[in-house]
Amino acid sequence: MLKRIATALTLASLALTSAAAADKISGAGASFPAPLYYDWAFNYGKETHSRVNYQSIGSGGGIKQITNRIVDFGASDKPLKTKELNKAKLLQFPAVIGAIVVAYNLPGIADEQLKLSNSIVADIFAGKITMWNDPAIAAENKGLELPNQKIIVVHRSDGSGTTYNFTYYLTKSSENWANNYGAGKAIDWAVGMGGKGNEGVSNLLKQTPYTIGYIESAYKEKNHLAAATLQTANGKWVTAREENFKAAAQYASWTKEDNFYALLALQPGDTSYPIVAATFILLPKEKPAMDKKVTAFFDYAFKKGDESAKKLGYIPLPESTKQMIRDYWTANIK
């Protein structure tokens, strides 16, 4: 009798374990949207009892893991072109829009007080401007007491979609940058020290005076960091604020035929923040059952996650784009 009970309990335990495993979704990649994905996953788990486990390892790692089918979905801030997607047998769609800020740690200089033209940002990260009181920076910041200190550049040490979008912006801002560095998830930096993920760069900025670096805006808010006032594509000064991110995001043009490929830096408009980027989800074409579970999670996020996105400093996708994505799922996941 006891043996039969023990056997029944074991079988019940195995059934529960199997059910839990069936409801588990794993993803990995970009640190850019990680705070939001954690929040969405927590709320989704409360409502559905399904577990979404997301690892913030950088876009390069996310692309690699989904290409090798290690996770159920990959996440990248660098969109893949159709040829790359076809080669890896992947689907792609955007999840949310965010912004990259140029953050700094300058004692005595508050958030938004420092103005940096796009070309000067490029020259700082190229090592051409090395002092905080350089005449070029001083000319844009009359009345601001700039320290006679070396600029300490902080960049990503890992393969990163944030880096790709930031260096794409630099490429569009500076001929010198375009000719010598270009855009990439990882580049051969001229100067500076590296931090892993947006988390690592944020920590280095917090801990080290006279630093400058690029991070997703949610990390700026979370860590109470200062961000520079930058320039729009037509030269207007613009701060790192939600309304200016939205102004740029409205110019995004998505098409299902291109698998939603789009880069959003330096969009038109007098108030368009210059470094806005979408972040993307990658799915394997040959796993429709799991893809449906992943897309159920993102559909939940599209329906109920906009307030979380706004609270954390992201821009939700327009409803028309969300519906286009749902149509894309229907056409490609069967």
Residue 29 has pLDDT above 50, yes or no: yes
3-state secondary structure at position 223? coil
Residue 1: pLDDT band by 50, 70, 90 thresholds? very low
Summarize pLDDT for 260-279 with one digit per residue, the tens.
999 999 999 999 999 999 99
Q: What is the mean pLDDT of residues 69-75?
A: 98
Q: Is the pTM of this model over 0.95?
A: no
The string of pLDDT tens digits covering residues 282-301 is: 999 999 999 999 999 999 99
Question: Which residues are CB-contacts of 1 (< 8 A; sequence separation ≥ 6)?
Answer: none
- Percent of the chain whose pLDDT exceeds 90: 92
In whole angstroms, what is the distance from residue 293 CA to residue 23 CA?
8
CA angle 53, 59, 65 (to 5 degrees): 60
Q: What's the confidence (pLDDT) of residue 196?
A: 95
Domains and CATH numbers, the chain: 25-98+253-263+276-332 (3.40.190.10), 100-249 (3.40.190.10)
CA distances from 94 to 12, 187, 298 (A): 40, 24, 10
